[in-house]
């Protein structure tokens, strides 16, 4: 991708990754992802974050095309994750006198990933770096989503270089700025990026939003996804909603099923919820849909109903993996329902109860467990579970 001017002497250098199928080797990215870096050319030259290492050659070529034989004075490290620091070693080799700019938690990570840094400038909240016409101010936002994470605010043009915050999955297909693209395409990918990567740290995200609120921000330049210059509220209001667990009325139903009996139980619940007026119902087979998409809806809807058959005296493996991930991310303020099935030995519902104890969501109805094919008595219980969930959601 060619470099693009954000403002006078401020450049976007972005590279589209259409080959990687799993981000962090976990999360599906069917529409790829972009890696964004930024270059400020002044009396002093500063680079803000780098890019993933597979783009090093093109990246250095773009830098040279902009600055020629000049040297880069500073590399600002907002975030040390390798998809942003992957070109760090190459930049140091190219510009050996460069000064690395970070906070007190940054440089230990530089040493862990690459080498002990030689020229460093340690900054803290409200520190300012003078480049000439441009002044850079720094604010730490720890655990959004690593402990060393910070943001850089360019005071002249009021640009927030936000690192992973306010980023998105999805390549930039020609359009760089929010007003150049159809944001409907990015709606799910921005949220999936948040729920998959940042969602574990909602409380920290809320603190970061409040901390950055006094800044007069005219543009947000993240390290993934579009640059926000026209409708900043589009992304800001969504981050605030998601990180404050402001959930919509709806139910996610997830099940595992080997022979179809647990699926039939899920279908009974879903139909009753629809009869009760619940419009947003998402039913997922845990063996078919990646956790990334299910978790996205868990962060969206307040109701969660999960069913598992017994499998070797435990939960169905794909349900167990999903619930382990949800437990790790610890979203708040949900209503919970549990059901399951067994034939010759139990384990599914028993372990779903352990999940309920750990996640501490409100259980709306007693767990329901069937033996084999669904019988009339347990069908009535499933209807009652759906009614209890609808009652909670509809108030």
Per-residue pLDDT 10s for the chain (395 aa) are: 678 999 999 999 999 999 999 999 999 999 999 999 999 999 999 999 999 999 999 999 999 999 999 999 999 999 999 999 999 999 999 999 999 999 999 999 999 998 888 899 999 999 999 999 999 999 999 999 999 999 999 999 999 999 999 999 999 999 999 999 999 989 999 999 999 999 999 999 999 999 999 999 999 999 999 999 999 999 999 999 999 999 999 999 999 999 999 999 999 999 999 999 999 999 999 999 999 999 999 999 999 999 999 999 899 999 999 999 999 999 999 999 999 999 888 889 999 999 999 999 999 999 999 999 999 999 999 999 999 999 999 98
Could you tell me which residues are beta bridge partners of residue 141?
none
Residue extent(s) of CATH 3.60.15.10 domains in the chain: 4-243
Residue extent(s) of CATH 3.40.50.360 domains in the chain: 248-394
Distances (CA, A) of 43 to 73, 139, 152, 169, 277: 10, 23, 18, 35, 63
Indicate if the alpha-carbon torsion angle 341, 342, 346, 348 is positive or negative: negative
- The encoded tokens of residue 392 equal 């909670």
Label residue 130 exposed, middle or buried (CB < 10 Å: 0-12, 13-18, 19+).
Answer: exposed
Please give the Cα distance from 59 to 274 (Å, whole number): 52
Q: Determine the 3-state secondary structure of 301 from DSSP.
A: strand
Instruction: Report whether CATH 2.60.120.10 matches the domain 4-243.
Output: no
- The encoded tokens of residue 101 equal 């700019």
Indicate if the alpha-carbon torsion angle 67, 73, 76, 77 is positive or negative: positive
Please give the Cα distance from 227 to 34 (Å, whole number): 11
Please give the Cα distance from 128 to 131 (Å, whole number): 10
Question: 248-394: which CATH architecture?
Answer: 3-Layer(aba) Sandwich (3.40)
Distances (CA, A) of 192 to 14, 323, 354: 21, 17, 27
Half-sphere exposure of 367 (CA within 13 A, CB side): 20
Indicate if the alpha-carbon torsion angle 114, 2, 168, 285 is positive or negative: negative
């Amino acid at each position: 991708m060619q470099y693009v001017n954000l403002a006078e002497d401020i450049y976007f250098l972005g590279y589209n990754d259409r080959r990687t199928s799993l981000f962090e080797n976990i999360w599906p990215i069917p529409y790829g992802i972009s890696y964004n870096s930024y270059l400020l050319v002044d009396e002093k030259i500063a680079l803000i974050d780098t890019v993933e290492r597979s783009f090093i050659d093109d990246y250095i070529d773009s830098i040279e095309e902009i600055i020629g034989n000049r040297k880069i004075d500073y590399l600002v490290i907002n975030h040390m994750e390798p998809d942003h620091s992957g070109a760090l070693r190459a930049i140091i080799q190219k510009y050996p006198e460069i000064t690395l700019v970070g906070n007190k938690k940054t440089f230990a990570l530089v040493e862990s990933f690459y080498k002990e840094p030689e020229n460093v400038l340690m900054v803290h909240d409200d520190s300012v770096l003078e480049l000439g016409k441009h002044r850079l101010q720094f604010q730490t936002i720890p655990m959004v989503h690593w402990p060393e994470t910070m943001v850089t605010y360019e005071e002249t043009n009021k640009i927030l270089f936000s690192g992973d915050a306010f980023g998105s999955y999805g390549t930039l297909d020609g359009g760089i700025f929010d007003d150049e693209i159809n944001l409907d395409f990015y709606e799910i990918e921005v949220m999936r990026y948040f729920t998959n990567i940042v969602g574990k740290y909602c409380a920290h995200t809320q603190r970061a939003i409040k901390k950055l609120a006094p800044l007069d921000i005219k543009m947000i330049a993240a390290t993934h996804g579009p640059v926000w210059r026209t409708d900043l509220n589009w992304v800001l209001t969504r981050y605030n909603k998601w990180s404050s667990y402001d959930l919509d009325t709806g139910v996610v139903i997830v099940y595992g099923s080997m022979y179809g009996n647990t699926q039939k139980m899920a279908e009974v619940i879903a139909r009753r919820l629809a009869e009760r007026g619940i419009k947003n119902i998402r039913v997922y087979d845990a063996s078919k849909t990646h956790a990334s998409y299910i978790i996205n809806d868990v962060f969206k809807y307040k109701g969660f109903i999960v069913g598992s058959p017994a499998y070797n005296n435990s939960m169905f493996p794909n349900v167990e993996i999903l619930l382990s991930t949800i437990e790790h991310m610890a979203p708040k303020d949900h209503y919970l329902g549990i059901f399951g099935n067994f034939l010759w030995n139990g384990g599914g519902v028993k372990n779903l109860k352990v999940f309920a104890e750990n996640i501490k969501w409100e259980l709306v109805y007693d767990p329901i467990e069937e033996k084999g094919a669904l019988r009339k008595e347990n069908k009535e219980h499933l209807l009652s579970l759906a009614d209890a969930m609808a009652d909670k959601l509809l108030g």
